Amino acid sequence: MTTNLQDRVDLTAVTRAAANAAKAGAASSDVERAGWLAAVADALDAHVDELVELADAETRLGPVRLKGEVARTTGQLRLFARVITEGSYLEAVIDHSVPSATPPAPDLRRVLKPVGPVAVFSASNFPFAFSVAGGDTASALAVGCPVIVKAHSGHLQLSIRTAEIVTQALTDAGAPEGIFALVSGRENGTALVQDPAVKAVGFTGSIPGGRALFDLAVSRPDPIPFYGELGSLNPVVITEGALSTRAAELAEGLAASFTLGAGQFCTKPGLVFVPAGTGFAGEVAAIANTKPGAPMLTDRISDAYPKGLQDLAAQAGVAVVGGTVDQYATADGAAAVVLSTTAETVLEHPDALLEECFGPTTLLIEYRDRAELERALGVLPGNLTATVHAQPGEDVSGLVDQLSELAGRVLFNGWPTGVAVNWAQQHGGPWPATTSLFTSVGATAVRRFQRPVAYQDAPQELLHPALRDGNPLGIPRRVDGVLALP
């Protein structure tokens, strides 16, 4: 492949091929699609050393991190293969006719069906798990939706090679032509969102970029769902009991979490609420100062990090407790910075202080009492995660209720970096964390790319197999209001 996809890709031909493949994708069986996913996972595993070398050259994330990310990526593909063969993802519901009801009730049967071609925008910070063959692609292919991936410019060569491997694996597994494609370039990305053949979009990236594409998606003549993961501050609340009992442990954990991967995780703890007058910020800074600087993903991100630090440090009431905001991250790597302020300052200037700074930094916010803490939490935007560190016996029920309104995942006595890929995961949250209520990680990510269809008094032979009498697929279903297990 050449390095400039934009010069050689006919986007209309790509989307037309995807539209043609959508019918075959929808008609394919769960077992067939599970085979596609397994084939892609096996192919990526077989090329792991080659792919990690390419990824390291473009992202500077290091072979250890990248090899682990490939394992997560292939694990996601295999998870979705299990999800679709288990069958509950179809949400099959059968209500038999009740002629004696008032009014008489017909036979109604509902199932989820694929929406059609999906555009997927790769993320900068996860070149495998949220990229060409990442969770969005896996979950869309799992339910039979063709996927067109818009490559991220930060790892274009890796994207091209990954797409070659995915395409060959799908072809060898018998997937229909046009079920998967890769394009690049901002113009193609914008055009994808507007193309009539595209029926949904998955995006991971910045708030400004995501908002612009979201607005395009909903302003189309035929608006489509836009599932964007955009930004998150991931607040952490440390209670007085927790801090007095295990301050050193908390300082170590926080420093490790916010500097992990040069602070380039969407779940980095960016805001930490601590009791006033404890000196905890200094403890965190002392540990963070021992962390070496680390290269960031791209020069653009490296240039933006010091600027974001300087903007925060320039705000009245904000102090730099550890590290320096005057750094040259592009050449020297990003160094850890610990900032501190008060809940009162946050309440006075929320717009200035509640901005995500992508990189190894965190803002510690001192609160005087529970009432002030709750007021400060009340001005926070939506988040992917929220965390509580408390001791047994402390009443944090009100805090947990408040944090549950702010985030899609609430953690207890842990740190938010690290996202398990399983059935229970929720990786989403209120705006601006995401643009929807659905998760982008875990089993129910497939729900984003399905739509419900109900069939009334339909002949058996015309029904989806999940809705036929006798349960030929052997899957969980709800029949006449009762959950029926196979």
pLDDT tens per residue across span 433-442: 999 989 999 9
> What residue ranges of the chain have pLDDT lower than 50?
1-4, 6
Amino acid at site 418: G
pLDDT of residue 5: 54
Q: If we measure between CA atoms, which residue out of 370, 376, 355 comes closest to residue 313? A: 355
Q: Is the dihedral of CA 115, 119, 124, 127 positive or negative?
A: positive
CA dist 322 to 258, 267, 284, 289, 361, Å? Answer: 13, 21, 8, 7, 10
Q: Nearest to residue 143, comparing CAs of 36, 279, 217, 10?
A: 36
- With CA atoms as reference, report the closest residue to 72 among 255, 265, 231: 265
229 is catalytic: yes
Q: Residue 320: enclosing H or E segment and its boundaries?
A: strand 319-322
3-state secondary structure 76-127: HHHHHHHHHHHCHHHCCEEECCECCCCCCECCEEEEEEECCCEEEECCCCCC
Query: What gap in Å lies between CA 468 and CA 257, rounded to an integer?
Result: 50
Question: Measured between alpha carbons, how far is 40 from 374 in angstroms, rounded to an integer?
Answer: 47
- Single-letter code of the amino acid located at 144: G
Helix axis angle for 48-59 and 63-86, nearest 10°, is 120
Angstrom distance (rounded) from CA 256 to CA 272: 14
Rounded CA gap, 336 and 7, in Å? 40
Question: Which one-letter amino acid corresponds to residue 87?
Answer: G
Query: pTM surpassing 0.85?
Result: yes
Tell me the residue type at 45.
Answer: D
CB under 8 Å to 449, separation ≥6 — which residues? 114, 115, 118, 139, 140, 143, 145, 200
Q: Is 368 left (phi over 0), alpha (psi -120 to 50) or beta?
A: alpha
Q: Dump pLDDT digits (tens) for 454-479.
A: 999 999 999 999 999 999 999 999 99
Q: Which of 58, 266, 366, 372 is catalytic?
A: 266
Question: Any catalytic annotation for residue 145?
Answer: no
Burial of 30 (0-12, 13-18, 19+ CB in 10 A): buried
Handedness of CA 123, 125, 130, 131 (dihedral sign): positive
Quick check: 46 and 40 in contact, CB under 8 A? Answer: no
> Catalytic residue among 69, 229, 366, 372, which?
229
CB 428 within 8 A of CB 409: no
Measured between alpha carbons, how far is 76 from 269 in angstroms, rounded to an integer?
24
Residue 332 is given by DSSP the state: H
Q: What would the DSSP string read from start to end of 446-465?
A: GGGGEEEEEEES--GGGS-G
Where do the domains of the chain lie, and which CATH numbers do they carry? 5-230+436-479 (3.40.605.10), 235-412 (3.40.309.10)
Euclidean distance between CA atoms 256 and 20, whole angstroms: 48
Q: Mean of the per-residue pLDDT values for the chain?
A: 96
| Structure tokens given for 332 | 């020297």
- Which residues neighbour 91 within 8 Å (Cβ) at sequence distance 6 or greater? 110, 111, 112, 452
Length of the chain: 486
